[in-house]
Amino acid sequence: MSKWFIGMVVIAVLAFGTVIGFNLFVNKKIETTLANLPEPVYPVTVEKLTPTVWPQGIKAIGFIEPNQGVSVSNEVAGIVTAINFENGANVESGTVLVSLDSSVQKAQLKAQQVQLPSVRDDYNRLRKLYQERSVSEQSVEAAQSKYEAMQANIESLQATINQREIKAPFSGVLGIRNINLGQYVSAGTDIVRLDDLSVMRVRFSVPQAEIGKLSVGQAISLTVEAFPGREYKGKINAIQPVVSDQTGLVMVQAELPNEDKTLRGGMFAAVNVALSDLDNQVVVPQTAIVFALYGNSVFVAEKKDDETRVRQVTVEVLQRDGNFALVKGDLKFDEQVVTTGILNLGNNTKVNIVDNPISTLDSMPQL
């Protein structure tokens, strides 16, 4: 082995040792510096836990429909001779909306009505003659049959004429007509929509586990996107007697007044069924909760001597509403829960409580 090779190996070992030694020295200095740094203090805001009334309710998405609603149509075919309504008008039950041509039927009716007195007189005359034994019973029966047949024919013609007068089946609000004057319409043509908007119904489904909390006459409230901030109130009037075998849900129906007719059929609504309130509950802002896969928790600020540290407490979130949550855990009233600044915190972290007010429990939105 040459001296040159041995020299190179020695130089390499010395260089490697120098690098390792330098790194160990730097790491030691860093550890010493960090050990001498003061403990960080994180600013947080807190809120005192107070006994809170938590309003309960069953929430669902409902479908609104009118008390009565129908597409008005005609029973018989014919030509439109009169349209007696304006689009969007309010109408009373029995109002004639559309007339179809009935001139032929009216002429036939008039002819029958003209002949009726003569036929009736013949029948009465033959009855008297029969009592005098002047005519046979068969003659009287034939006259009676003719008279009764003419009466039936008159009633049939009158019914046919009435069928050509399309009337409103109930009072309500009309939609937009689908026919024009002079148009030939076949039987069953969709003429116009008619809805009774004085009372509305909302249908919604709830889980079968909630059936025991519902009863006919129970109060409900709902909101719709068309009128944000406005709450409509009603009462449950029917509960489906069976549970859907496909969804496990139960259909519920409620009625609510609609005097100003702002609710319309086909709207979707956020429905809430009010239940008994829970008293003396622990409620915290949702910003105070640390959500994690291994469990949810909050931080409680505790002052010891001249410093304030936090204690991490595991909680179970029972219900949520808006910015607040009903929780269960090792928490006591009058303790201070950290509401903001939780990202940098861990158990026993040192904190500084700052004055940064947040929404109070008094402003908790009602269900």
Q: Which domain CATH number covers 289?
A: 2.40.420.20
Examine the domain organization and report whether 285 and 257 are in the same domain: no
Min mean pLDDT across 139-153, 206-220, 346-360 is at 346-360
pLDDT higher than threshold 70 for residue 331: yes
Residue at 262 is within a domain: yes
Do 255 and 299 fall within a single domain?
A: no
% of the chain residues with pLDDT over 90 = 52
User: Do residues 269 and 284 share a domain?
Assistant: no
What CATH number is attached to the domain comprising 113?
Answer: 1.10.287
Chosen domain end from 145, 163, 181 = 163
**Domain shared by 359 and 287, yes or no:** yes
Q: What is the pLDDT of residues 267-313, one digit of tens each?
A: 999 999 988 888 999 999 999 999 988 899 999 999 888 888 999 99
- For residue 356, being part of any structural domain is answered with yes
- Within a domain: 226: yes
57-101 pLDDT, tens digit per residue, is 889 999 999 999 999 999 999 999 999 999 999 999 999 999 999
Residue 37's pLDDT is 59
Same domain, 140 and 115: yes
**CATH number, position 261:** 2.40.30.170
pLDDT at 12 > cutoff 70: no
State the pTM of this model. 0.63
Predicted confidence band at 13 (pLDDT cuts at 50, 70, 90)? low
Are 226 and 261 in the same domain? yes
Q: Band of the pLDDT at 15, cuts 50, 70, 90?
A: low
Asked if residue 26 belongs to a domain, the reply is no
Residue 363 near residue 354 (C-beta atoms within 8 A)? no
Please indicate, yes or no, whether residues 248 and 307 belong to a single structural domain of this protein. Answer: no
293 and 354 together in one domain: yes
Confidence band, pLDDT 50/70/90 cuts, at residue 239: very high
Residue 264 lies in a domain: yes
The domain boundary, picked from 137, 163, 189, lies at 163
Does residue 352 lie in a domain region?
A: yes
- The confidence score (pLDDT) of residue 231 equals 94
Tell how strand 219-223 and strand 232-239 pair up.
Answer: antiparallel
Select from 114, 147, 163 the last residue of a domain.
Answer: 163
- pLDDT-derived band at 19, boundaries 50, 70, 90: low
The mean pLDDT value of the chain amounts to: 85
Q: How many domains are there within the chain?
A: 3
Give domain status of residue 210, yes or no. Answer: yes
| Structural domain boundaries enclosing 203 | 59-66+199-274
| Residue 281: CB atoms within 10 Å | 15
In a domain, 78, yes or no: no
